[in-house]
Structure 1
Amino acid sequence: MSLSRSPALARRLPILLILVVAIGGALLLHDRLSFEGLARHREALLAFRDANHAAAALTFVAAYMAIVLFSLPGALICTLTGGFLFGLFPGVLYNVAAASAGAVLLFLAARAGFGASIAARMAAQGGAVARLQAGLKESEWSVLFLMRLVPVVPFFVANLLPAFLNVPLHRFAISTVLGILPGALVYTSVGTGLGAVLARGEAPDLGIIFTPQVLGPLLGLAALSALPIVLRLARRGR
């Protein structure tokens, strides 16, 4: 292998490793990180938390961060578990910190591995692709917040796409923390009542985010994020 290819391979190793772990995790963990698994181990988790709160918090944050980094199944279970183990506060802080840190690490790995070259190729192609990239660049904040606030955008897609569009790190990090906070508050709150639900052998109602009292404010935030795009298009139309 030539020396000129070594730096490129070194940059791509992290994202390639993440891809391998993500595929292996999807095959091996798809049925392990579940409500049934949480119900089986809830007493042990509570005992560990009560014995050493700091160690339990650090272990939880590290595990959640790894799940997001490697795009493993179970992120929603982790959010609920944060509320179950630590309450709404500081549970929501642990959830947001872990998810944001994992997202930032995945973003950095993707950008170092392929993102910069993909962005450069898009710009060099010209035409519609370059115009799309330029349009997204003008409305980066709005687009980033929309991807976080609209529930239909998968979390890992919202982590990878900005890396391929060469979004600055600080914009990605800020929009991630603030954008996931509303949803994290909702699901962490659901998690605070998870103990009683699991004791009855039931599963929590995760459709709560689609109820009018929850979905309405989220859509309102999404509309507010989209407002600069609408105003910019209206000015161009005039």
Structure 2
Amino acid sequence: MDAPAAPSPPLLRRLLPLLLLAAGFAAFFALGLDRQLSLAALARHRADLAGFVAAQGAVAVLAYIGVYALSVAFSVPGATVLTLAGGFLFGTLPATAYAVTGATLGAVAVFLAARTALGGALRERAGPWIARLESGFREHAFSYTLFLRLVPLFPFWLVNLVPAFLGVPLRTYAFATLIGIVPGGLVYASVGNGLGAVLDAGGTPDLGLIFAPEVLFPLLGLAALALLPVAVKAWRGRA
């Protein structure tokens, strides 16, 4: 005889993580923090920030990762500015590592909150079609998630939610996110590494750099490689 199914947690408890993230999003704008997470603010405070990093070392690194994680978890705009700031403060490769770590932690928080609050309810209401979509996505969860992360046309917050709704395992989602955001992070961290000279010259960095053909096409090539296992399996199935 099968054991009785565990009762689902109360609605408020399921929604609480998502409500906390929504509250963080609202507080970000209510407190005017959007004005501080900008290139203009970075230009004004760059000397203070550089002094803080030089004086605090590891504490500054942890603070940077924490701020980055919170910004992603709250789904607020500013990840590009944070990555540029990291490149300016820490150098290209360290900044890439720190930004990717923070972004992955924040993305995992959104994933878990969405899966807890809405994942099961969405599948119940959507009916058989979501089950078929979920089955296909989960079969190649790493490849699909990696593809979505590599293509810069998909909003980051949206890619945080889709795998949660489609039942992707946490480990697969986290690893694909970690790998998939490295190329874009490296591009912006390298721009940030030269930010001081750009600001001294009175210029502004090109935030649309990732859509330049010499950057976008290699990213699309990597995204196509991410789907190669899917294509090979489909070809073998037909053969």
- When normalised by structure 2's length, the TM-score is 0.89
Which consecutive unaligned segments of at least 5 residues does structure 1 have? Answer: none
Q: Is residue 76 of structure 2 the alignment partner of residue 72 of structure 1?
A: yes
Does the 8 Å contact 1:26/1:73 carry over to 2? no
* 1:97 shift after superposition: 0.6
1:106 matched to which residue of 2?
A: 110
Q: Distance between the aligned counterparts of 1:232 and 1:54, measured in 2?
A: 46
Q: Distance between the aligned counterparts of 2:236 and 2:25, measured in 1?
A: 44
Any idea what the Cα deviations from partners look like across 1:122-167, whole Å, max 9, x if unmatched?
A: 4xx11x3332222222221221011100111111111111111121
1:173 matched to which residue of 2?
A: 174
1:201 matched to which residue of 2?
A: 202
* 1:184 shift after superposition: 0.9
* 1:8 shift after superposition: 3.3
Which consecutive unaligned segments of at least 5 residues does structure 2 have? Answer: 1-6
1:40 matched to which residue of 2?
A: 44
Q: Distance between the aligned counterparts of 1:22 and 1:92, measured in 2?
A: 24
Q: Distance between the aligned counterparts of 1:15 and 1:82, measured in 2?
A: 28
2:60 matched to which residue of 1?
A: 56
Q: Distance between the aligned counterparts of 1:100 and 1:24, measured in 2?
A: 22
* 1:90 shift after superposition: 1.4
Does the 8 Å contact 2:123/2:130 carry over to 1? no
Q: Is residue 142 of structure 2 the alignment partner of residue 141 of structure 1?
A: yes
Does the 8 Å contact 1:22/1:72 carry over to 2? yes
Does the residue aligned with 1:206 lie in a helix, a strand or coil? coil
Instruction: Name the amino acid aligned to 1:137.
Output: R
Does the 8 Å contact 2:138/2:167 carry over to 1? no
Q: Distance between the aligned counterparts of 1:96 and 1:86, measured in 2?
A: 14
Does the 8 Å contact 1:149/1:219 carry over to 2? yes
Counterpart selection for 1:11 from 7, 10, 14:
14
Q: Which is further off, 193-202 or 164-173?
A: 193-202
2:231 matched to which residue of 1?
A: 230
What value does the CA root-mean-square deviation take over the aligned residues?
Answer: 2.0
Does the 8 Å contact 1:136/1:143 carry over to 2? yes
1:91 matched to which residue of 2?
A: 95
Instruction: Name the amino acid aligned to 2:157.
Output: F
Does the 8 Å contact 1:29/1:73 carry over to 2? no
Q: Distance between the aligned counterparts of 1:42 and 1:231, measured in 2?
A: 49
Instruction: Name the amino acid aligned to 1:223.
Output: A
* 1:106 shift after superposition: 1.4
* 1:215 shift after superposition: 1.9
Q: Distance between the aligned counterparts of 1:78 and 1:67, measured in 2?
A: 9
Does the 8 Å contact 2:93/2:186 carry over to 1? no
Q: Distance between the aligned counterparts of 1:52 and 1:32, measured in 2?
A: 21
Q: Distance between the aligned counterparts of 1:237 and 1:23, measured in 2?
A: 50
Q: Distance between the aligned counterparts of 1:181 and 1:116, measured in 2?
A: 31
* 1:111 shift after superposition: 1.1
* 1:24 shift after superposition: 3.9
Q: Distance between the aligned counterparts of 1:64 and 1:146, measured in 2?
A: 23
Instruction: Name the amino acid aligned to 1:21.
Output: G
* 1:57 shift after superposition: 1.1
